[in-house]
Chains A and B, each alone.
Chain A
């Protein structure tokens, strides 16, 4: 609010906007860097041993006939993969053999050689509580109206389409879906695509080109970054969710024009996401829209995680803030998370969608969506809209679960990032060894969690990320919370210095705190 154009920024928000990103405690940061340092030294040592054949090398090798070709991979590019990622690789790519609902069945894997190879024992870990899948409204199920409708559709239409939208792959189902999505979002018109990632990477190049400016948030998803790069426009990055940084970039761009020639920019496009999945933060949409209107820029909102999950009617972040959907020029989202299907959509004015029908890479070259997937989206969307008689129970359940889960974790003393209303809950781990330990300990207690480290996050800010679902019952959440608390005590993860009830004496950090200040 530096330039004094809004009387007060808070007047744009109809309800309190509470988010927290507690700073990394200094001791923890130092220990984390030390941890990475030790791992790097060991990495070099092990590479040395492998090169000189003291240690067996499990890596796949180049063919004998191609030994004199230029190496396909540089040694240092894969240093991190070989020496750090490989140690804790069992926390990712865990195969499941059931519906990815609130509880799932995992295939048991064992490794005889420290994660270089895996073997399936044939056992199944049953009823593991699923805190990792993006199942916000609980539509990942194999029984019920959605599954029945999808079955009928499979019998009638089959599974494949084998043609593109512009050729002969445009089924009546696609048109039905697009009309429904437009109605759901409250926009004039919409288009659906087969893959969420491709929706961004194929449509942003159709909208901007050379001579345009893209202002992208620091923490945007890889698909948005790829789409922006493929478009050929100039890209400038503003600090995450920081409106002062965005305003400064907008002003500089309009006042100074293109670099060197100073010609005015053709268009300015702001790329933001509804919920940022690694931070759990929600975009400051009222302020972004105010800025966009003032500086005549266009807004591209990627609601991959927020559609269906936020807002009293489940219409995403626009509904959450009570804003008008026509203020957002391009509303994009995916069907993978809240609708239990696959694919993406773009909604907006009719001119925009007509243009995309002709110029989007996807409609010309990519196969159209599969009919049973479309049916799943149609049925689940109608459920959310309440059109088939069911209530909005899932939405209330999700927001209740989110509030309860975040409050309890906060009370336990963990550092949680993000907005209080976001169903994505990152819990900070920081140290590299704790990444692996957390994932494994939680699995021992029958809870499936997702842990993320570098390069998806900054190097010292590794975290565990929980996705709360409407399908989680209170008992499941309590069980998960107890397990998290247990593991948190075991691994000393309760770093938070504010707002802690109980658990005072057991943590070494409170001891240090009282002696530091």
Chain B
């Protein structure tokens, strides 16, 4: 027995040797064979490549634009965009600029801007991190935080960039954002930059939102570990610019605590308009401002300056100082514009009666425009920027726009300055129907409002028969 085993151990069985021999030959073959790169088509010669390069023709950089495209020639305003605005050479009453509190022509604001110019010059020559932080910026941030009764505020030098930089600073790939369908374009750009999952709910439809939230809850239960790290946000506007109505904030706050989502509120149209002291939609509904995680607004409407700000708790806002792209990588707001904003805030704080006046005028305009033949008023009586849409659309957007433009031209001839609401047709996710924008400011008198309503009625009768 032992002898047999020894002999079998001393010489390996034949198939073993043959197998190993084959393996060694295979390895040698692999070592000496060519490697194939997956991307290259190995059958192209240099000459063929040259031919391909010769033949390739790119599209023109931009497609041709026809000379009589309706939006190509802008309306030119000569002089300041004040209450009596000169459009295309005609002096008109301004129903088109978002100058809600009439601060564009305020002498106080201009004087403050002038004194700031004399002290700091015009530009800041640097971003906030590199000697671009002026004491006026710090003062403006403090004042805004105090006015809105939050811990901290951060200012941006461009209104559009405010919410578009704020959203991607918090929401990254893999996070979930629930957005209203009527959200404005800057929110849409912020969502695109964030690369998160976007879920749209029907405009102001809390049931639709709740349905989406419930679906997400079911998803979470399938994968609880992942659910613990995915952040969720709801992005809404206080007063929607596209539909001129309010968001149902108290219900949203209830949904926030039920489903544990954070709320980002965009208040460009409602800051300085709603609420007893102009603090926006939270004051209007009496919601505790700490319940909203982030409030963003631009200073270009009620505050009649340039730029935007975000306010909220320090826990939330401080993060943007290092992660907000529009804050870190861009030059800061020119100090004279910041001073103008501070003075505008002063005026707002000194005279809270302004807001009641504005609200009354809004109701007045809303009522005066009712019953225009062929046009319907879209928006709440509280909203300072209404839309006039065609009651019966002709079916083609270009034709509708032509009709509305004719109404605007008619009004301009009769010294009422109106404007079409502008959108990028191909880029908007939910393109609103064509409309005329009517803006209410505190400077418009009763008589002017009546005259404007009359003029629009005449225009509609004449053009939309």
Chain A residues with CB under 8 Å of chain B are: 60-63, 65-66, 68-74, 81, 85, 92-101, 104, 107, 130, 132-135, 139-142, 146-147, 150-151, 154-172, 175, 194-198, 201-202, 207, 221-223, 226, 229-230, 251, 254-256, 264-268, 295-298, 329-330, 334-337, 339-342, 351-352, 354-359, 361-362, 364-367, 369-373, 376, 448, 450
Contact = CB atoms under 8 A, between A and B. Distances in A.
* List of 3 A-B pairs having minimum Cβ-Cβ separation, nearest first: A195-B158, A355-B62, A197-B330
Contacts of A230: 189, 192-193
B29 interface: no
A101 B119 CA distance: 12
Contacts of B138: 95
A161 B298 CA distance: 13
Contact of A94 (B57, B131, B189): B131
Contacts of A364: 185, 422-424
A28 B380 CA distance: 66
A448 B133 CA distance: 13
Given A160-B104, A255-B44, A194 B130 contact: no
Interface string B95-134: 0111100011110011001100111111111101111111
Contacts of A74: 229
Contacts of A101: 121
B18 interface: no
A341 B285 CA distance: 41
A161 B106 CA distance: 13
A223 B164 CA distance: 13
Contact of B113 (A132, A159, A264, A366): A159
B286 interface: no
B304 interface: yes
B125 A63 contact: no
A257 to B, nearest CB: 9
Given A158-B82, A267-B61, 18 more contacts: A69-B261, A73-B319, A101-B121, A133-B131, A133-B132, A158-B304, A159-B336, A160-B99, A166-B74, A167-B437, A197-B330, A198-B330, A202-B160, A265-B56, A341-B123, A342-B123, A354-B72, A450-B130
A92 B308 CA distance: 22
Contacts of A356: 62
A168 B75 contact: yes
A61 B186 CA distance: 29
A361 B228 CA distance: 37
- Looking at A159, A297, A341, A367, the one whose CB has the most chain B CB atoms below 10 A away is A159
Contact of B81 (A107, A162, A336): A162
Given A163-B81, A223-B329, A341-B334, A93 B158 contact: no
Contacts, number: 352
Contact of A162 (B58, B97, B321): B97
Given A150-B122, A167-B96, A195-B158, A70 B110 contact: no
Interface of B: 39-41, 44, 49, 52-53, 56-65, 69, 71-72, 74-82, 85, 87, 94, 96-99, 103-106, 109-110, 113-114, 117-126, 128-135, 137-138, 157-161, 170, 184-186, 189, 192-193, 227-232, 257, 260-262, 290, 298, 300-301, 303-306, 313-316, 318-319, 321-322, 325-326, 328-331, 333-334, 336-337, 340, 417, 419-424, 427, 437
Contact of B98 (A146, A162, A268, A355): A162
Nearest to A167: B419
A308 B118 CA distance: 24
B61 A298 contact: yes
A96 B331 contact: no
Given A162-B104, A357-B72, A376-B123, A195 B97 contact: no
A251 B53 CA distance: 7
B259 to A, nearest CB: 10
Contacts of B325: 197, 222-223, 226
A373 B131 contact: no
- For the residues of B in contact with A, the DSSP-based class is loop
A446 B69 CA distance: 58
B185 A365 contact: yes
5 contacts: A66-B262, A96-B134, A254-B52, A337-B125, A355-B63
- Looking at B81, B138, B340, the one whose CB has the most chain A CB atoms below 10 A away is B81
A2 to B, nearest CB: 13
B39 A256 contact: yes
A97 B134 contact: yes
Contacts of A155: 110, 114
Contacts of A229: 193
A132 to B, nearest CB: 5
Contact of B313 (A63, A70, A329, A358): A63
A516 B91 CA distance: 81
A447 to B, nearest CB: 12
Contacts of A68: 260
Contact of A197 (B76, B132, B326): B326
- Looking at A95, A156, A221, A339, the one whose CB has the most chain B CB atoms below 10 A away is A95
Nearest to B186: A365
Contacts of A157: 79-80
B97 A159 contact: no
A297 to B, nearest CB: 7
A159 B307 CA distance: 12
A207 B422 CA distance: 19
A365 B340 contact: no
Contacts of A351: 60-62, 64-65
Contacts of B41: 256
Nearest to B220: A70
A60 B315 contact: yes
Contact of B110 (A140, A159, A166, A330): A159
- Looking at A92, A267, A337, the one whose CB has the most chain B CB atoms below 10 A away is A92
